[in-house]
Structure 1
Protein backbone atom coordinates (compact mmCIF):
# COMPACT_ATOMS: atom_id res chain seq x y z
CA UNK A 1 0.00 0.00 0.00
CA UNK A 2 1.42 3.34 -1.02
CA UNK A 3 1.90 6.08 1.54
CA UNK A 4 -0.82 8.70 1.33
CA UNK A 5 0.72 12.17 0.79
CA UNK A 6 0.22 14.78 3.51
CA UNK A 7 -1.52 17.00 0.96
CA UNK A 8 -4.16 14.32 0.45
CA UNK A 9 -4.79 14.10 4.20
CA UNK A 10 -5.05 17.88 4.36
CA UNK A 11 -7.56 18.01 1.50
CA UNK A 12 -9.65 15.27 3.12
CA UNK A 13 -9.61 17.10 6.47
CA UNK A 14 -10.62 20.38 4.84
CA UNK A 15 -13.38 18.59 2.93
CA UNK A 16 -14.88 17.17 6.12
CA UNK A 17 -14.48 20.52 7.87
CA UNK A 18 -16.23 22.30 5.00
CA UNK A 19 -19.25 19.98 5.22
CA UNK A 20 -19.44 20.49 9.00
CA UNK A 21 -19.24 24.26 8.52
CA UNK A 22 -22.09 24.23 5.98
CA UNK A 23 -24.13 22.05 8.34
CA UNK A 24 -23.54 24.49 11.21
CA UNK A 25 -24.39 27.55 9.08
CA UNK A 26 -27.63 26.02 7.79
CA UNK A 27 -28.64 24.99 11.30
CA UNK A 28 -27.77 28.38 12.81
CA UNK A 29 -29.95 30.10 10.18
CA UNK A 30 -32.82 27.65 10.74
CA UNK A 31 -32.73 26.41 7.16
CA UNK A 32 -32.82 22.80 8.32
CA UNK A 33 -35.74 21.28 10.21
CA UNK A 34 -34.41 20.46 13.69
CA UNK A 35 -36.68 17.43 13.92
CA UNK A 36 -35.08 15.72 10.96
CA UNK A 37 -31.63 17.34 10.86
CA UNK A 38 -30.53 18.65 14.24
CA UNK A 39 -27.63 21.04 14.63
CA UNK A 40 -24.08 19.80 15.19
CA UNK A 41 -24.32 21.07 18.78
CA UNK A 42 -27.40 18.94 19.48
CA UNK A 43 -25.73 15.88 17.98
CA UNK A 44 -22.65 16.53 20.12
CA UNK A 45 -24.85 16.97 23.22
CA UNK A 46 -26.60 13.67 22.44
CA UNK A 47 -23.26 11.92 22.04
CA UNK A 48 -21.86 13.29 25.31
CA UNK A 49 -25.12 12.48 27.09
CA UNK A 50 -25.00 8.87 25.90
CA UNK A 51 -21.37 8.65 26.95
CA UNK A 52 -22.12 10.03 30.43
CA UNK A 53 -25.59 8.63 31.12
CA UNK A 54 -25.98 5.81 28.63
CA UNK A 55 -29.07 5.02 26.59
CA UNK A 56 -32.12 3.27 28.03
CA UNK A 57 -30.20 2.44 31.19
CA UNK A 58 -27.15 0.98 29.44
CA UNK A 59 -23.85 2.79 28.97
CA UNK A 60 -22.60 3.64 25.50
CA UNK A 61 -19.52 1.52 26.16
CA UNK A 62 -21.71 -1.52 26.83
CA UNK A 63 -23.68 -0.94 23.64
CA UNK A 64 -20.44 -0.70 21.67
CA UNK A 65 -18.98 -3.77 23.38
CA UNK A 66 -22.08 -5.84 22.60
CA UNK A 67 -22.01 -4.84 18.92
CA UNK A 68 -18.26 -5.38 18.59
CA UNK A 69 -18.53 -8.76 20.32
CA UNK A 70 -21.12 -9.89 17.78
CA UNK A 71 -18.98 -8.59 14.95
CA UNK A 72 -15.82 -10.20 16.32
CA UNK A 73 -17.45 -13.60 16.80
CA UNK A 74 -18.94 -13.58 13.30
CA UNK A 75 -15.74 -12.34 11.71
CA UNK A 76 -13.63 -14.90 13.56
CA UNK A 77 -15.84 -17.74 12.33
CA UNK A 78 -15.69 -16.32 8.80
CA UNK A 79 -11.89 -16.24 8.91
CA UNK A 80 -11.72 -19.85 10.11
CA UNK A 81 -14.05 -21.08 7.37
CA UNK A 82 -13.86 -18.75 4.35
CA UNK A 83 -10.07 -18.77 4.02
CA UNK A 84 -9.54 -22.58 4.12
CA UNK A 85 -12.58 -23.22 1.91
CA UNK A 86 -11.47 -20.49 -0.48
CA UNK A 87 -7.99 -22.02 -0.74
CA UNK A 88 -9.43 -25.47 -1.39
CA UNK A 89 -11.95 -24.12 -3.89
CA UNK A 90 -9.24 -22.24 -5.72
CA UNK A 91 -7.19 -25.40 -6.22
CA UNK A 92 -9.85 -28.13 -6.42
CA UNK A 93 -12.57 -27.56 -8.98
CA UNK A 94 -15.13 -29.99 -7.59
CA UNK A 95 -15.09 -28.28 -4.19
CA UNK A 96 -15.63 -24.94 -5.91
CA UNK A 97 -18.44 -26.47 -7.95
CA UNK A 98 -20.16 -27.58 -4.74
CA UNK A 99 -19.86 -24.32 -2.79
CA UNK A 100 -20.10 -21.60 -5.44
CA UNK A 101 -23.82 -22.00 -6.30
CA UNK A 102 -24.83 -21.54 -2.65
CA UNK A 103 -22.50 -18.58 -2.08
CA UNK A 104 -23.63 -16.85 -5.28
CA UNK A 105 -27.29 -17.52 -4.45
CA UNK A 106 -27.42 -15.93 -1.01
CA UNK A 107 -24.72 -13.27 -1.52
CA UNK A 108 -26.96 -10.67 -3.27
CA UNK A 109 -29.95 -11.32 -1.01
CA UNK A 110 -30.91 -8.55 1.47
CA UNK A 111 -30.13 -9.71 5.03
CA UNK A 112 -33.71 -9.24 6.19
CA UNK A 113 -34.86 -11.65 3.47
CA UNK A 114 -33.41 -14.61 5.35
CA UNK A 115 -32.99 -13.21 8.86
CA UNK A 116 -36.53 -14.23 9.74
CA UNK A 117 -35.59 -17.82 8.89
CA UNK A 118 -32.51 -17.61 11.08
CA UNK A 119 -34.66 -16.38 13.97
CA UNK A 120 -37.05 -19.31 13.48
CA UNK A 121 -34.20 -21.81 13.32
CA UNK A 122 -31.81 -20.46 15.96
CA UNK A 123 -33.97 -18.29 18.21
CA UNK A 124 -33.97 -14.58 18.96
CA UNK A 125 -30.83 -14.45 21.05
CA UNK A 126 -27.28 -13.67 19.90
CA UNK A 127 -26.91 -16.91 17.94
CA UNK A 128 -29.11 -15.80 15.04
CA UNK A 129 -27.44 -12.37 15.02
CA UNK A 130 -23.93 -13.82 14.87
CA UNK A 131 -24.94 -16.24 12.11
CA UNK A 132 -26.44 -13.38 10.07
CA UNK A 133 -23.23 -11.35 10.41
CA UNK A 134 -21.18 -14.44 9.59
CA UNK A 135 -23.11 -15.05 6.38
CA UNK A 136 -22.68 -11.39 5.42
CA UNK A 137 -18.90 -11.58 5.88
CA UNK A 138 -18.30 -15.10 4.54
CA UNK A 139 -19.19 -14.54 0.87
CA UNK A 140 -16.86 -11.60 0.01
CA UNK A 141 -13.98 -13.16 1.91
CA UNK A 142 -14.44 -16.56 0.29
CA UNK A 143 -14.72 -15.08 -3.21
CA UNK A 144 -11.61 -12.93 -2.67
CA UNK A 145 -9.54 -15.94 -1.61
CA UNK A 146 -10.75 -18.03 -4.56
CA UNK A 147 -9.91 -15.17 -6.93
CA UNK A 148 -6.48 -14.79 -5.34
CA UNK A 149 -5.65 -18.46 -5.81
CA UNK A 150 -6.87 -18.34 -9.39
CA UNK A 151 -4.52 -15.45 -10.20
CA UNK A 152 -1.36 -17.21 -9.06
CA UNK A 153 0.83 -17.78 -12.16
CA UNK A 154 1.23 -21.44 -12.95
CA UNK A 155 4.95 -21.02 -13.57
CA UNK A 156 5.36 -19.82 -9.98
CA UNK A 157 3.86 -23.08 -8.71
CA UNK A 158 5.90 -25.17 -11.16
CA UNK A 159 9.07 -23.29 -10.31
CA UNK A 160 8.69 -23.94 -6.59
CA UNK A 161 7.82 -27.58 -7.20
CA UNK A 162 10.83 -28.08 -9.45
CA UNK A 163 13.06 -26.71 -6.70
CA UNK A 164 11.83 -29.42 -4.37
CA UNK A 165 9.07 -27.65 -2.42
CA UNK A 166 6.61 -30.02 -0.79
CA UNK A 167 2.89 -29.25 -0.37
CA UNK A 168 3.34 -27.55 3.00
CA UNK A 169 6.19 -25.37 1.72
CA UNK A 170 4.24 -24.62 -1.44
CA UNK A 171 1.34 -23.37 0.66
CA UNK A 172 3.39 -21.36 3.18
CA UNK A 173 5.92 -19.77 0.83
CA UNK A 174 4.10 -19.51 -2.52
CA UNK A 175 0.31 -19.72 -2.32
CA UNK A 176 -0.32 -17.83 0.92
CA UNK A 177 1.97 -14.85 0.13
CA UNK A 178 0.55 -14.68 -3.39
CA UNK A 179 -3.06 -14.30 -2.23
CA UNK A 180 -2.37 -11.77 0.55
CA UNK A 181 -3.34 -8.69 -1.53
CA UNK A 182 -6.70 -10.23 -2.50
CA UNK A 183 -7.12 -11.51 1.05
CA UNK A 184 -6.83 -8.03 2.54
CA UNK A 185 -9.25 -6.66 -0.04
CA UNK A 186 -11.67 -9.40 0.98
CA UNK A 187 -11.16 -8.60 4.67
CA UNK A 188 -11.95 -4.93 4.21
CA UNK A 189 -14.96 -5.66 2.01
CA UNK A 190 -16.19 -8.27 4.46
CA UNK A 191 -16.04 -5.92 7.42
CA UNK A 192 -17.83 -3.21 5.45
CA UNK A 193 -20.70 -5.52 4.56
CA UNK A 194 -20.89 -6.74 8.16
CA UNK A 195 -21.35 -3.17 9.30
CA UNK A 196 -24.21 -2.60 6.89
CA UNK A 197 -25.85 -5.74 8.29
CA UNK A 198 -25.36 -4.79 11.94
CA UNK A 199 -28.60 -2.83 12.28
CA UNK A 200 -30.56 -5.70 10.72
CA UNK A 201 -28.88 -8.13 13.11
CA UNK A 202 -29.93 -6.03 16.10
CA UNK A 203 -33.50 -5.39 14.96
CA UNK A 204 -35.08 -8.47 16.51
CA UNK A 205 -35.26 -8.92 20.29
CA UNK A 206 -32.16 -6.86 20.99
CA UNK A 207 -31.85 -4.48 23.93
CA UNK A 208 -28.26 -3.43 23.36
CA UNK A 209 -25.81 -2.63 20.61
CA UNK A 210 -25.07 0.56 18.72
CA UNK A 211 -27.20 -0.63 15.81
CA UNK A 212 -30.12 -1.14 18.18
CA UNK A 213 -29.59 2.34 19.64
CA UNK A 214 -29.89 3.89 16.18
CA UNK A 215 -32.98 1.84 15.34
CA UNK A 216 -34.68 2.45 18.69
CA UNK A 217 -33.98 6.19 18.63
CA UNK A 218 -35.49 6.46 15.16
CA UNK A 219 -38.82 5.16 16.53
CA UNK A 220 -39.02 8.21 18.79
CA UNK A 221 -37.76 10.66 16.14
CA UNK A 222 -34.56 11.25 18.14
CA UNK A 223 -32.61 12.21 15.06
CA UNK A 224 -29.82 13.66 17.23
CA UNK A 225 -29.19 10.23 18.78
CA UNK A 226 -29.56 8.54 15.38
CA UNK A 227 -26.91 10.78 13.81
CA UNK A 228 -24.65 10.46 16.86
CA UNK A 229 -24.91 6.67 16.68
CA UNK A 230 -24.18 6.67 12.95
CA UNK A 231 -21.12 8.86 13.53
CA UNK A 232 -19.86 6.48 16.23
CA UNK A 233 -20.37 3.49 13.92
CA UNK A 234 -18.58 5.30 11.13
CA UNK A 235 -15.61 6.28 13.29
CA UNK A 236 -15.21 2.69 14.50
CA UNK A 237 -15.46 1.38 10.93
CA UNK A 238 -12.80 3.85 9.75
CA UNK A 239 -10.56 2.89 12.68
CA UNK A 240 -10.87 -0.80 11.81
CA UNK A 241 -10.17 -0.10 8.14
CA UNK A 242 -7.12 2.01 8.99
CA UNK A 243 -5.89 -0.79 11.23
CA UNK A 244 -6.26 -3.28 8.38
CA UNK A 245 -4.44 -0.91 6.01
CA UNK A 246 -1.53 -0.61 8.44
CA UNK A 247 -1.46 -4.38 8.90
CA UNK A 248 -1.53 -4.84 5.13
CA UNK A 249 1.34 -2.40 4.74
CA UNK A 250 3.37 -4.37 7.27
CA UNK A 251 2.56 -7.86 6.00
CA UNK A 252 2.36 -7.10 2.26
CA UNK A 253 4.95 -4.33 1.78
CA UNK A 254 5.38 -5.13 -1.89
CA UNK A 255 1.72 -4.62 -2.81
CA UNK A 256 1.16 -1.55 -4.96
CA UNK A 257 4.83 -1.18 -5.85
CA UNK A 258 6.17 -1.75 -9.29
Structure 2
Protein backbone atom coordinates (compact mmCIF):
# COMPACT_ATOMS: atom_id res chain seq x y z
CA UNK A 1 0.00 0.00 0.00
CA UNK A 2 1.23 3.55 -0.70
CA UNK A 3 2.93 5.26 2.20
CA UNK A 4 1.07 8.27 3.55
CA UNK A 5 3.07 11.49 3.88
CA UNK A 6 4.44 12.17 7.33
CA UNK A 7 2.39 14.74 9.25
CA UNK A 8 4.59 17.08 11.27
CA UNK A 9 4.01 17.30 14.97
CA UNK A 10 2.33 20.46 16.25
CA UNK A 11 4.87 23.20 16.80
CA UNK A 12 7.53 21.53 14.68
CA UNK A 13 9.46 23.72 12.18
CA UNK A 14 10.36 20.81 9.91
CA UNK A 15 8.33 20.36 6.68
CA UNK A 16 6.64 17.01 6.11
CA UNK A 17 8.95 14.38 4.62
CA UNK A 18 8.14 13.56 1.02
CA UNK A 19 7.29 10.00 0.15
CA UNK A 20 10.14 8.16 -1.59
CA UNK A 21 9.63 7.87 -5.34
CA UNK A 22 8.40 4.47 -6.46
CA UNK A 23 11.19 2.26 -7.71
CA UNK A 24 11.26 1.54 -11.42
CA UNK A 25 10.28 -2.01 -12.16
CA UNK A 26 13.17 -4.13 -13.48
CA UNK A 27 10.88 -5.66 -16.10
CA UNK A 28 10.10 -2.21 -17.54
CA UNK A 29 13.79 -1.36 -17.75
CA UNK A 30 14.54 -4.64 -19.52
CA UNK A 31 11.67 -4.07 -21.96
CA UNK A 32 12.91 -0.57 -22.82
CA UNK A 33 16.47 -1.88 -23.30
CA UNK A 34 15.22 -4.61 -25.64
CA UNK A 35 13.16 -2.13 -27.64
CA UNK A 36 16.17 0.16 -27.93
CA UNK A 37 18.41 -2.68 -29.15
CA UNK A 38 15.82 -3.71 -31.71
CA UNK A 39 14.80 -0.18 -32.69
CA UNK A 40 18.25 1.20 -33.46
CA UNK A 41 19.13 -1.39 -36.15
CA UNK A 42 15.63 -1.10 -37.63
CA UNK A 43 15.87 2.68 -37.75
CA UNK A 44 19.30 2.43 -39.35
CA UNK A 45 17.86 0.10 -42.00
CA UNK A 46 15.01 2.52 -42.76
CA UNK A 47 17.43 5.45 -43.08
CA UNK A 48 19.65 3.42 -45.41
CA UNK A 49 16.71 2.46 -47.61
CA UNK A 50 15.52 6.05 -47.72
CA UNK A 51 18.99 7.30 -48.70
CA UNK A 52 19.27 4.57 -51.31
CA UNK A 53 15.91 5.57 -52.81
CA UNK A 54 16.91 9.23 -52.90
CA UNK A 55 20.17 8.44 -54.69
CA UNK A 56 18.43 6.14 -57.19
CA UNK A 57 15.69 8.68 -57.89
CA UNK A 58 18.12 11.56 -58.35
CA UNK A 59 19.17 10.27 -61.74
CA UNK A 60 22.85 10.88 -61.04
CA UNK A 61 23.56 7.27 -62.03
CA UNK A 62 21.73 4.93 -64.35
CA UNK A 63 19.56 2.15 -62.95
CA UNK A 64 22.13 -0.34 -64.20
CA UNK A 65 24.60 1.05 -61.68
CA UNK A 66 22.23 2.02 -58.85
CA UNK A 67 18.89 0.23 -59.16
CA UNK A 68 16.08 1.45 -56.88
CA UNK A 69 15.02 -0.70 -53.91
CA UNK A 70 11.83 -1.72 -55.76
CA UNK A 71 13.88 -3.23 -58.61
CA UNK A 72 16.00 -5.19 -56.13
CA UNK A 73 12.83 -6.44 -54.42
CA UNK A 74 11.46 -7.58 -57.78
CA UNK A 75 14.75 -9.39 -58.44
CA UNK A 76 14.48 -11.07 -55.05
CA UNK A 77 10.98 -12.32 -55.91
CA UNK A 78 12.19 -13.53 -59.32
CA UNK A 79 15.13 -15.54 -57.98
CA UNK A 80 12.99 -16.96 -55.16
CA UNK A 81 10.08 -18.18 -57.30
CA UNK A 82 9.39 -19.82 -60.65
CA UNK A 83 8.55 -17.54 -63.57
CA UNK A 84 8.09 -18.27 -67.28
CA UNK A 85 8.88 -21.90 -66.58
CA UNK A 86 12.28 -21.08 -65.02
CA UNK A 87 13.04 -21.84 -61.37
CA UNK A 88 14.76 -18.91 -59.67
CA UNK A 89 18.09 -17.97 -61.26
CA UNK A 90 19.61 -20.40 -63.74
CA UNK A 91 17.11 -23.08 -62.74
CA UNK A 92 17.85 -22.83 -59.00
CA UNK A 93 16.02 -20.92 -56.29
CA UNK A 94 17.85 -18.35 -54.17
CA UNK A 95 17.54 -20.49 -51.04
CA UNK A 96 19.07 -23.41 -52.93
CA UNK A 97 21.98 -21.29 -54.16
CA UNK A 98 22.57 -20.15 -50.58
CA UNK A 99 22.27 -23.68 -49.19
CA UNK A 100 24.86 -25.05 -51.62
CA UNK A 101 27.29 -22.26 -50.73
CA UNK A 102 26.72 -22.78 -47.01
CA UNK A 103 27.47 -26.47 -47.45
CA UNK A 104 30.76 -25.56 -49.13
CA UNK A 105 31.59 -23.14 -46.32
CA UNK A 106 30.64 -25.70 -43.69
CA UNK A 107 32.88 -28.39 -45.16
CA UNK A 108 35.77 -26.12 -46.14
CA UNK A 109 35.79 -23.93 -43.04
CA UNK A 110 35.20 -27.00 -40.85
CA UNK A 111 38.33 -28.68 -42.23
CA UNK A 112 40.34 -25.48 -41.80
CA UNK A 113 39.10 -24.96 -38.23
CA UNK A 114 39.88 -28.51 -37.12
CA UNK A 115 43.35 -28.34 -38.69
CA UNK A 116 43.93 -24.91 -37.11
CA UNK A 117 42.94 -26.20 -33.67
CA UNK A 118 45.31 -29.17 -33.89
CA UNK A 119 48.22 -27.15 -35.26
CA UNK A 120 47.66 -24.35 -32.76
CA UNK A 121 47.58 -26.76 -29.83
CA UNK A 122 50.75 -28.51 -30.97
CA UNK A 123 52.61 -25.28 -31.78
CA UNK A 124 51.58 -23.75 -28.46
CA UNK A 125 52.91 -26.67 -26.42
CA UNK A 126 55.97 -27.71 -28.46
CA UNK A 127 58.44 -24.88 -29.04
CA UNK A 128 60.32 -26.38 -31.98
CA UNK A 129 57.04 -27.09 -33.80
CA UNK A 130 56.10 -23.43 -33.44
CA UNK A 131 59.43 -22.34 -34.87
CA UNK A 132 58.99 -24.77 -37.76
CA UNK A 133 55.42 -23.97 -38.84
CA UNK A 134 54.67 -20.42 -37.67
CA UNK A 135 56.46 -18.68 -40.60
CA UNK A 136 54.52 -20.78 -43.11
CA UNK A 137 51.20 -20.03 -41.44
CA UNK A 138 52.00 -16.32 -41.37
CA UNK A 139 52.94 -16.48 -45.04
CA UNK A 140 49.65 -18.23 -45.84
CA UNK A 141 47.65 -15.75 -43.76
CA UNK A 142 48.94 -12.79 -45.77
CA UNK A 143 47.98 -14.26 -49.15
CA UNK A 144 44.66 -13.16 -50.71
CA UNK A 145 42.51 -16.11 -51.84
CA UNK A 146 42.71 -15.21 -55.53
CA UNK A 147 46.50 -15.47 -55.36
CA UNK A 148 46.43 -19.25 -55.09
CA UNK A 149 42.97 -20.14 -56.42
CA UNK A 150 44.27 -20.49 -59.98
CA UNK A 151 46.93 -22.88 -58.72
CA UNK A 152 44.27 -24.93 -56.93
CA UNK A 153 42.31 -25.16 -60.19
CA UNK A 154 45.41 -26.44 -61.99
CA UNK A 155 45.98 -29.04 -59.28
CA UNK A 156 42.41 -30.08 -58.46
CA UNK A 157 40.25 -29.23 -61.49
CA UNK A 158 37.11 -27.10 -61.63
CA UNK A 159 34.67 -29.14 -59.54
CA UNK A 160 34.12 -28.96 -55.79
CA UNK A 161 37.68 -29.78 -54.70
CA UNK A 162 39.31 -26.38 -55.37
CA UNK A 163 36.39 -24.51 -53.78
CA UNK A 164 36.47 -26.59 -50.59
CA UNK A 165 40.26 -26.39 -50.44
CA UNK A 166 40.26 -22.61 -50.90
CA UNK A 167 37.78 -22.14 -48.04
CA UNK A 168 39.76 -24.53 -45.82
CA UNK A 169 43.04 -22.73 -46.53
CA UNK A 170 41.37 -19.37 -45.85
CA UNK A 171 39.92 -20.52 -42.51
CA UNK A 172 43.03 -22.30 -41.25
CA UNK A 173 45.42 -19.43 -40.32
CA UNK A 174 43.13 -17.40 -37.99
CA UNK A 175 42.35 -20.46 -35.86
CA UNK A 176 45.96 -21.68 -35.81
CA UNK A 177 47.33 -18.26 -34.83
CA UNK A 178 44.70 -17.54 -32.15
CA UNK A 179 45.02 -21.02 -30.62
CA UNK A 180 48.82 -20.84 -30.55
CA UNK A 181 48.72 -17.43 -28.89
CA UNK A 182 46.15 -18.57 -26.34
CA UNK A 183 48.05 -21.74 -25.45
CA UNK A 184 51.34 -19.92 -24.96
CA UNK A 185 49.58 -17.36 -22.74
CA UNK A 186 48.37 -19.95 -20.21
CA UNK A 187 49.75 -18.87 -16.80
CA UNK A 188 52.70 -20.99 -15.71
CA UNK A 189 51.37 -20.95 -12.17
CA UNK A 190 48.37 -23.00 -13.25
CA UNK A 191 50.57 -25.53 -15.02
CA UNK A 192 52.92 -25.83 -12.04
CA UNK A 193 50.02 -26.22 -9.63
CA UNK A 194 48.52 -28.99 -11.78
CA UNK A 195 51.89 -30.78 -11.98
CA UNK A 196 52.26 -30.51 -8.21
CA UNK A 197 48.92 -32.27 -7.87
CA UNK A 198 50.15 -35.13 -10.04
CA UNK A 199 48.56 -34.18 -13.38
CA UNK A 200 49.90 -35.99 -16.42
CA UNK A 201 50.70 -34.25 -19.71
CA UNK A 202 47.30 -35.23 -21.09
CA UNK A 203 45.63 -33.91 -17.92
CA UNK A 204 47.45 -30.61 -18.37
CA UNK A 205 46.18 -30.29 -21.92
CA UNK A 206 42.62 -31.41 -21.12
CA UNK A 207 42.02 -29.68 -17.79
CA UNK A 208 44.26 -26.60 -17.89
CA UNK A 209 45.44 -25.62 -21.36
CA UNK A 210 42.23 -26.16 -23.34
CA UNK A 211 39.89 -24.35 -20.88
CA UNK A 212 42.35 -21.45 -20.56
CA UNK A 213 42.77 -21.13 -24.33
CA UNK A 214 39.09 -21.61 -25.17
CA UNK A 215 38.03 -17.91 -25.20
CA UNK A 216 40.70 -16.83 -27.68
CA UNK A 217 40.21 -19.99 -29.72
CA UNK A 218 36.49 -19.29 -30.13
CA UNK A 219 37.33 -15.76 -31.25
CA UNK A 220 39.67 -17.26 -33.85
CA UNK A 221 36.88 -19.56 -35.06
CA UNK A 222 34.58 -16.57 -35.55
CA UNK A 223 37.30 -14.81 -37.52
CA UNK A 224 37.88 -17.94 -39.59
CA UNK A 225 34.21 -18.19 -40.55
CA UNK A 226 34.27 -14.51 -41.53
CA UNK A 227 37.35 -15.04 -43.71
CA UNK A 228 35.68 -18.04 -45.34
CA UNK A 229 32.62 -15.92 -46.11
CA UNK A 230 34.76 -13.19 -47.61
CA UNK A 231 36.42 -15.83 -49.81
CA UNK A 232 33.12 -17.32 -50.99
CA UNK A 233 32.75 -15.37 -54.23
CA UNK A 234 36.39 -16.06 -55.06
CA UNK A 235 35.84 -19.76 -54.43
CA UNK A 236 32.89 -19.81 -56.82
CA UNK A 237 34.46 -17.78 -59.62
CA UNK A 238 34.87 -20.91 -61.74
CA UNK A 239 31.99 -23.36 -62.14
CA UNK A 240 30.24 -21.77 -59.17
CA UNK A 241 26.66 -22.34 -60.31
CA UNK A 242 24.66 -23.37 -58.44
CA UNK A 243 25.93 -21.29 -55.53
CA UNK A 244 25.27 -17.81 -54.20
CA UNK A 245 28.75 -16.56 -55.10
CA UNK A 246 28.45 -18.06 -58.57
CA UNK A 247 25.06 -16.38 -58.95
CA UNK A 248 26.59 -13.00 -58.06
CA UNK A 249 29.46 -13.52 -60.50
CA UNK A 250 27.18 -14.67 -63.33
CA UNK A 251 24.73 -11.80 -62.80
CA UNK A 252 27.61 -9.31 -62.81
CA UNK A 253 28.73 -10.64 -66.20
CA UNK A 254 25.36 -9.56 -67.62
CA UNK A 255 25.14 -6.25 -65.68
CA UNK A 256 22.18 -7.64 -63.74
CA UNK A 257 22.84 -5.38 -60.77
CA UNK A 258 19.59 -6.14 -58.85
CA UNK A 259 20.45 -9.85 -58.71
CA UNK A 260 24.01 -8.98 -57.67
CA UNK A 261 22.66 -6.92 -54.76
CA UNK A 262 20.25 -9.71 -53.79
CA UNK A 263 23.12 -12.19 -53.70
CA UNK A 264 25.34 -9.86 -51.67
CA UNK A 265 22.49 -9.25 -49.21
CA UNK A 266 21.91 -13.01 -48.87
CA UNK A 267 25.60 -13.60 -48.12
CA UNK A 268 25.72 -10.76 -45.59
CA UNK A 269 22.51 -11.68 -43.78
CA UNK A 270 23.40 -15.36 -43.53
CA UNK A 271 26.82 -14.34 -42.26
CA UNK A 272 25.21 -12.19 -39.56
CA UNK A 273 23.01 -15.10 -38.46
CA UNK A 274 25.92 -17.54 -38.28
CA UNK A 275 28.13 -15.04 -36.44
CA UNK A 276 25.30 -14.46 -33.95
CA UNK A 277 25.03 -18.21 -33.37
CA UNK A 278 28.79 -18.47 -32.84
CA UNK A 279 28.65 -15.56 -30.41
CA UNK A 280 25.91 -17.32 -28.43
CA UNK A 281 28.04 -20.47 -28.41
CA UNK A 282 30.98 -18.47 -27.12
CA UNK A 283 28.90 -16.96 -24.32
CA UNK A 284 27.58 -20.40 -23.36
CA UNK A 285 31.01 -22.10 -23.49
CA UNK A 286 32.97 -19.37 -21.66
CA UNK A 287 30.44 -17.50 -19.48
CA UNK A 288 33.25 -16.17 -17.29
CA UNK A 289 34.78 -14.13 -20.12
CA UNK A 290 34.75 -10.43 -19.30
CA UNK A 291 33.75 -11.09 -15.69
CA UNK A 292 36.96 -12.43 -14.20
Query: Which range, TM-score by smaller chain?
Result: over 0.9
* Corresponding residue number in structure 1 for 2:23: none
1:230 is aligned to 2:264: yes
- Which is worse superposed, 56-65 or 138-147? 56-65
Structure 1's unaligned 5+ residue stretches are none
Which residue of 35, 41, 47 corresponds with 1:18? Answer: 47
Deviations 1:183-242 (A, max 9, x none): 111011101111111111101123211001011101111110001110000000000000
Q: Give aligned pairs, total.
A: 255
Which residue of 47, 68, 81 corresponds with 2:102? Answer: 68
The answer as to whether partners of 2:80 and 2:94 remain within 8 angstroms in 1 is yes
What CA distance in whole angstroms lies between the structure 1 residues aligned with 2:202 and 2:140?
A: 33
1:92 is aligned to 2:126: yes
* Corresponding residue number in structure 2 for 1:50: 79
Which residue of 185, 197, 209 corresponds with 1:175? Answer: 209
* Corresponding residue number in structure 2 for 1:79: 113
1:213 is aligned to 2:247: yes
What CA distance in whole angstroms lies between the structure 2 residues aligned with 1:117 and 1:29?
A: 45
What CA distance in whole angstroms lies between the structure 1 residues aligned with 2:160 and 2:109?
A: 14
Structure 2's unaligned 5+ residue stretches are 1-29, 83-87
**CA RMSD, 1 decimal:** 1.6
1:86-125 aligned at under 5 Å gives the runs 86-125=120-159
What CA distance in whole angstroms lies between the structure 2 residues aligned with 1:18 and 1:160?
A: 56
1:188 is aligned to 2:222: yes
- Bigger share in helix: 1
Post-superposition offset of 1:253: 0.3
What CA distance in whole angstroms lies between the structure 2 residues aligned with 1:73 and 1:135?
A: 12
Local SS of the residue matching 1:205 = coil
What CA distance in whole angstroms lies between the structure 1 residues aligned with 2:201 and 2:106?
A: 31
The answer as to whether partners of 2:98 and 2:243 remain within 8 angstroms in 1 is yes
Query: CA separation of 1:164/1:13 partners in 2, compared to 1, >3 Å: closer, same or farther?
Result: farther
- Which is worse superposed, 194-203 or 73-82? 73-82
- Which is worse superposed, 21-30 or 49-58? 21-30
TM-score normalised to structure 2 length? 0.83
